[in-house]
Amino acid sequence: MITTPTVPDSAVPDRASPVAAADFQHRTVLLDEAVDALALTGARANGVFVDGTFGRGGHSRLILAKLGASARLVAFDKDLQAIATAEQIDDPRFTIVHDSFATMGAALAERGVAQVDGILLDLGISSPQVDDAARGFSFRNDGPLDMRMDTTRGMSAAEWLAIENEKTLEKVIKEYGEERFAFQIAKAIVARRAIEPISTTRQLAGIVAGAVKTREKGKDPATRTFQAIRIFINKELEDLEIGLNQAYASLAPGGIMAIISFHSLEDRMVKRFFAARANVEQPDRRLPIRAVDLPQPEIKLLAKVKPSDAEVDANPRARSAVMRVARRLPFPEDAA
């Protein structure tokens, strides 16, 4: 795993203003399908659930609408604008945590929660983050090259590009962006920063466009590089690896995990995580082992769901989404 650099506290900016959150609209992907996957009926409707990626609250609000009076929903997000939106929800059943879902185990323990009945993770970035040029996630509008989901912590993309060596730049762009021109792009970045600081999204997009000679029809040359840098800066794959384990450890027997991913790196991790616990290798049948002592699967795979054509037509950003759903075993016989 590539290690993300850190900066001293003195270099971390003040908390960003959440005012802009209302200026950008977000369409929650697989809204009904994801909430339905948690099976919020019968006794489960009064359980404890986690929304590990609050975003703009689409999933959380629908979950709350289906939960019983004694239920609890704990949500997580690193984005200050998401936190500002979450704090507007006036519901005693709801708690928002300003942190990554990778901290789920400790955060739940601090709130007196030992096990939960369902966990939803909607990975990636939200439309407001992409559409707000000031966040630096998109190359379509010029803005400061930041890319941090949590602007109170860590190093911005511009700060990282200013100091990282060419070999690591290439590695990040190749591995996290699956970019075949990573060598040329890294070389071009190092050459340009020797002349001037790379501080805006338009600068970086221009550098990448000059280094990438061919690209799939309809795809901007900068797409993969921006994805790679964003994933790296925010430790997205590191958080996912830790978060999957923490989520599984927090899940009660019969509990359900539903995870929505938007690119192959995330989906591959989720798929392998589930498969490792669902497909248990059995010993040689000739060995004298009692059936009760045979290895048992830890989870049951329930579904793989993609957005409908109608959803993709209404929200093109949903086209790459994949949701995988699994239930922890054993499943209590008296569960609803």
Residues 86, 158 within the same domain: no
**What pLDDT is stored for residue 172 in this prediction?**
98
Known binding-site positions for S-adenosyl-L-methionine:
57-59, 77, 101, 122, 129
In a domain, 139, yes or no: no
The answer to whether the beta carbons of residues 328 and 248 sit under 8 Å apart is yes
**What pLDDT is stored for residue 40 in this prediction?**
97
Residues 201, 55 within the same domain: no
The answer to whether the beta carbons of residues 254 and 327 sit under 8 Å apart is yes
Residues 122, 32 within the same domain: yes
Does the structure show a pLDDT above 60 at 19? Answer: no
Does the structure show a pLDDT above 50 at 18? Answer: no
CA neighbours closer than 13 Å in the CB half-sphere of residue 195: 6
Residues 176, 213 within the same domain: yes
Residues 278, 223 within the same domain: no
Residue with tokens 């006036």: 90
In a domain, 137, yes or no: no
CA–CA separation, 288 and 200 (whole Å): 66
**What pLDDT is stored for residue 100 in this prediction?**
96
In a domain, 54, yes or no: yes
**What pLDDT is stored for residue 141 in this prediction?**
86
Q: Say if residue 55 is exposed, middle or buried (CB neighbours under 10 Å; 0-12, 13-18, 19+).
A: buried
pLDDT-based confidence at residue 13 (cuts at 50, 70, 90): very low
* Residue pLDDT, tens place only, 21-76: 334 456 799 999 999 999 999 999 999 999 999 999 999 999 999 999 999 999 99
* Residue pLDDT, tens place only, 268-317: 999 999 999 998 665 556 556 655 555 578 999 999 999 999 999 999 88
Domain count, the chain: 2
In terms of pLDDT, which residue wins out, 137 or 288?
137
* Residue pLDDT, tens place only, 150-207: 999 999 999 999 999 999 999 999 999 999 999 999 999 999 999 999 999 999 999 9
Task: Please state the rounded mean pLDDT for residues 256-264.
Answer: 96
The CATH number of the domain where 244 resides is what? 3.40.50.150
Residues 225, 243 within the same domain: no
Does the structure show a pLDDT above 60 at 11? Answer: no
Does the structure show a pLDDT above 90 at 85? Answer: yes
Known binding-site positions:
57-59, 77, 101, 122, 129
**What pLDDT is stored for residue 279 in this prediction?**
81
**What pLDDT is stored for residue 5 in this prediction?**
46
Residues 252, 229 within the same domain: no
The CATH number of the domain where 160 resides is what? 1.10.150.170
Phi, psi dihedral angles at 2 (to 5 degrees): -75, 135
Residues 177, 317 within the same domain: no
Task: Please state the rounded mean pLDDT for residues 122-146.
Answer: 87
In a domain, 17, yes or no: no
Query: Per the structure block, which two tokens stand in for 153?
Result: 């912590």
Residue with tokens 């949500």: 75
In a domain, 7, yes or no: no
Residues 228, 272 within the same domain: no
Residues 103, 228 within the same domain: no
The two beta strands, 48-51 and 116-122, are parallel
CA–CA separation, 116 and 71 (whole Å): 11
| Residues 108/111/117/121 CA torsion (nearest 10 deg) | -50
Residues 121, 255 within the same domain: yes
Q: Which domain holds residue 160?
A: 151-233
In a domain, 10, yes or no: no
In a domain, 83, yes or no: yes
In a domain, 278, yes or no: yes
Q: Please report the beta strands in 155-286, taking only residues with DSSP state E, as ranges in sequence order.
A: 251-261
Residues 34, 119 within the same domain: yes
